[in-house]
Copies of this chain bind each other. A is one copy, B any other.
Amino acid sequence: MSRERQHKHGAPVTMRDIAKEAAVSVATVSHVVNNKEGARIGEETRQRVHEAIDHLGYRTNALAKTLSVGSSRFIGLVADAIATTPFAGQIIHGAQDEAWKHGYVLLVANTEGNQAAENDAIAMMLEHQVKGILYSTWYHREIDVPESLHQTDTVLVDCFSTGSGLPAVVPNEQQGGKTATEELITAGHQRIAFINTTTPSPALTGRLAGYRSALEAAEIDFDESLVIPAVPEQEGGYEATAAIIASGATAVFCHNDRVAMGLYDGLREQGLDVPKDMAVVGFDNQEVIAAHLRPPLSTVALPHYELGAAGIRVLLGLEPEQDDEMYLIECPAIRRQSV
């Protein structure tokens, strides 16, 4: 704590300064700083160096080190919608935790869907000698991979590109849909409606497939009229209310939490109670909504944190190899009080 010079500005303290102060060579300083295995350093020398270090307030220069050892500790993360959803934040969080665990640091770039920003971001990362890049989107979908991504190791997160040869880490939509439906079945429901999205996507097909497989496993006949398409927003859920009631269902699986929120409004307007008159489960586990609806919404979580973390592991080659380069991450059930 007894720093002589704080060097907030002005020449920073370098290894040479330490070497001089401790009357040793920079090589020696380097050795003690990095606790080198091979090099035996006398205990008293080590002492002197350490004293000099915290006397002068030395801090290693990571950039110089990188240049010298040849490989950087940066991993780039380009995201398309950091600002507009809480989801990207969780991907970042997961990626960061995992990266740090392995001694890496994240270089984050937000592109907000802008092509030019994206290219700039990738170029910037390449110039900073990143170890690799995580390319992520805020909702699961197929994408065209920017050409420049092929100049380094990259893994796709929450998106994929068939034929690109790039590994992708995505949520297991089918398992998620199945899980959601099972929550309802387990609660005793037989006539279960499904408000699906209208936008073509892995979520649309995956969750539907999951819904069907859960019914099948429970030996409930699939009834096409029970799947109701809706815009995946509150408005869509609200507007689907009449159809849901007309369907005679006693439970409904909503494509996402926002749809469920809209449905709650519609149901309440008709004097229907959740879950007594109608059980509902959502999807996404969007905190601000799901946890605070009345009653709190049971849902299935999109594992964004895990997507980010797994992305890093795949990039670093720590994840067991898969055949098809598609890493499916499980979507866990989150039980609250709407079922």
A interface residues, Cβ below 8 angstroms from B = 6-8, 12, 59-64, 66-67, 72, 82-86, 88-90, 92-93, 96, 100, 105-110, 112, 120, 123-124, 126-129, 150-153, 233-235, 238, 258, 261-262, 265, 268-269, 286-289, 292-294, 305
Cα separation A217 to B112 with both chains bound (whole Å):
41
Whether the pair B67, A93 counts as a contact (CB closer than 8 A) is no
26 interchain pairs, CB-CB under 8 A: A7-B151, A8-B150, A8-B151, A59-B123, A59-B126, A61-B129, A62-B124, A63-B63, A63-B66, A63-B72, A63-B129, A82-B92, A83-B89, A83-B93, A85-B86, A92-B108, A93-B112, A105-B107, A106-B107, A108-B108, A233-B292, A238-B294, A265-B268, A268-B268, A268-B269, A286-B288
Contacts of A82 in B (CB 8 A): 89, 92-93
Cα separation A153 to B265 with both chains bound (whole Å):
50
Whether the pair B85, A6 counts as a contact (CB closer than 8 A) is no
Which 9 residue pairs of A and B lie closest in terms of their CB atoms, listed nearest first? Answer: A83-B93, A234-B292, A62-B127, A108-B108, A86-B86, A82-B89, A83-B90, A62-B128, A83-B89
Cα separation A88 to B108 with both chains bound (whole Å):
13
Find the B residue at minimum CB distance from A12. B129
Whether the pair B234, A294 counts as a contact (CB closer than 8 A) is yes
This chain's copy number in the assembly: 2
Contacts of A127 in B (CB 8 A): 59-62
Could you list 6 further interchain pairs (A-B, Cβ under 8 angstroms) beyond the known A62-B128, A63-B128? A6-B151, A12-B129, A61-B129, A63-B129, A234-B292, A262-B292
Find the B residue at minimum CB distance from A126. B59
Contacts of A84 in B (CB 8 A): 86, 89, 287
Whether the pair B110, A92 counts as a contact (CB closer than 8 A) is yes
Cα separation A59 to B119 with both chains bound (whole Å):
14
Contacts of A262 in B (CB 8 A): 292
Find the B residue at minimum CB distance from A124. B105
Within the complex, the shortest CB–CB distance from A235 to chain B, in Å, comes to: 7
Within the complex, the shortest CB–CB distance from A149 to chain B, in Å, comes to: 11
Cα separation A305 to B123 with both chains bound (whole Å):
24
Cα separation A120 to B97 with both chains bound (whole Å):
12
Find the B residue at minimum CB distance from A9. B153
Most chain B beta-carbon contacts within 10 A, residue among A100, A105, A288, A289: A288
Cα separation A129 to B62 with both chains bound (whole Å):
8
Whether the pair B110, A93 counts as a contact (CB closer than 8 A) is yes
Contacts of A89 in B (CB 8 A): 82-86, 88-89, 110
Within the complex, the shortest CB–CB distance from A99 to chain B, in Å, comes to: 10
Whether the pair A92, B83 counts as a contact (CB closer than 8 A) is yes
Contacts of A292 in B (CB 8 A): 233-235, 258, 261-262
Contacts of A67 in B (CB 8 A): 61, 63-64, 67
Within the complex, the shortest CB–CB distance from A307 to chain B, in Å, comes to: 12
Contacts of A96 in B (CB 8 A): 108-110
Cα separation A31 to B317 with both chains bound (whole Å):
39
